[in-house]
Amino acid sequence: MFGPDCACLVVVGAQWGDEGKGKLVDVLAESADLVVRYQGGANAGHTVVIGDEQFILQQIPSGILHPGTSCVVGNGVVLDPQTFFEELDRLHAKGIATDGRILVSDRAHLVLPYHKLLDQAGEKSQKIGTTGRGIGPTYEDKYGRRGLRVGDLRNQDQTRKLLVERLERANALLEMLGATERASLDQHTALLQRIAPRLLPLTTDTGLVVDRAIKAGQRVLMEGAQGALLDVDHGTYPFVTSSNTTAGGAAVGAGIGPTAIDAVLGVVKAYTTRVGNGPLPTEARDERGAELRRLGGEFGAVTGRARRCGWFDATVVRYAARVNGLSGLAVTKLDVLDSFAEIPVGTAYQIDGDPCEEFPAGVELLERARPVYQSLAGWKRSTGEARTLADLPREARVYLDRLEQLAGVPIRYVSVGTRRDQIIAV
Ligand code: IMP
């Protein structure tokens, strides 16, 4: 999608996450100079397959797998420093050189062990089905103006003072939540002392870096995590993550103005999945749902949890197109549908017998939403070797045309397998 009119492109998930953004970003990063993560943290799991090797990237932008590309972890990310370096070391062990290719924002907030304890304790009553990575409590601290930022590591004495207050509060909360574990000041201090010398050399004002890259005419790719329906404002609240996963979050989380963004690519699976609790109107609760899970390998990249599976939900994607201002769609995992004789597509909802074409705000309404399905003919042939639309069976093209029409956004890419080359540019 990069070209004369597009130097700054945002890639977002347009369902409930796990749409295959990692693969799209990997493919697009080939022509990008800079890849920027702008929200979320180690709750994300972006899977990229290169040859026989599978990489699962959690906090490091998928662009790292292209030697000519630099990567930025922006201010909107909540950074778990421990797993960040584990991830970096795993890349090094696989021969990926990252020196001088990754920068971290001094404004990014740190996810610390106490955030994970709070996340796990909170889950016992709230039951959102979080990844347990401390994401929610870290964003709570950020917006409560009591977070610790990467740049704070420059002043260890001040950081220790802040930590004392934070841990006192965290331990009081843990007690209130009935948790038995407590956060230890020694453990936190030791962790920060250990990671600071490694993290600080990578730390800078990344908003300035991104701005300079854009002004120098470089190509910048913004890599979203999770999906629109997990956005804290626009998703199925409270069953959401704690950041703005939609394209507006890219400007804020990368530290640039919205006018710098040229296009937004929404990634959707050819069907729908969700991990964690909350409404999923087109969930297939029968054996076909289990078949989608088996064929699509639908198990969480971070937690290994089985994903809930169902049919393409056009109400969701139309809504995601609106709240993201999508310029194009990338449809992934079309090949997973290869063996189905008939494929239902949810075109709208009925709620309490009334038609509903717009995605409602309340989960109580969504729990009562009954999808209106249109059944499309399957193609019963393998699509994994298709490299142009013309290579696809006629029924698969009809299927894609219908998704495009229902979503109201042109399809720009179709992915037909996990490998880098298994992609059709439309
Ligand atoms: P949290 O982000 O760990 O707080 O989890 C909140 C919700 O978002 C839960 O339903 C998670 O399963 C979901 N979630 C978080 N990250 C991802 C992701 O990368 N893919 C899919 N679901 C996610």
pLDDT, tens only, 354-364: 999 899 999 99
Say if residue 300's pLDDT is above 90.
no
CA atoms in the 13 A half-sphere facing the CB of 241: 32
Catalytic residue among 33, 46, 152, 188: 46
Q: Which atom of ligand 1 is nearest to the CA of 225?
A: 19
**pLDDT value of position 259:** 97
Whether the pTM exceeds 0.75: the reply is yes
Neighbouring residues of 128: CB distance < 8 A, sequence distance ≥ 6: 136, 238, 239, 240, 276, 277, 278
Per-residue confidence (pLDDT) for residue 304, from 0 to 100: 87
Residue 221 carries which side chain, given as an amino acid letter? Answer: L
131 Cα to the center of ligand 1, angstroms: 6
Question: Which residue's CA lies nearest to atom 9 of ligand 1?
Answer: 130
| pLDDT of 45 strictly over 90 | no
Distant-in-sequence, close-in-space partners of 361: CB < 8 Å, separation ≥ 6: 237
HSE (side-chain half, CA atoms, 13 Å) at 149: 18
Q: Is 233 a catalytic residue?
A: no
Percent of the chain with pLDDT over 90: 94
- Ligand 1 centre to CA of 214 (Å) is 31
pLDDT at residue number 136: 98
Q: Could you tell which of 226, 273, 309 is best to mutate to test the pocket of ligand 1, judged by most ligand atoms within 8 Å of the CB?
A: 226
Asked whether the beta carbons of 91 and 128 are under 8 A apart, the reply is: no
DSSP-derived 3-state class of residue 232? coil
Annotation says 18 is catalytic = yes
CA 51 to chain centre: 23
Write out the DSSP string of 302-366.
Answer: TT-PBPEEE-EEHHHHHHHHHHHT-SEEEEE-GGGGTT-SEEEEEEEEEETTEEE-S--S-HHHH
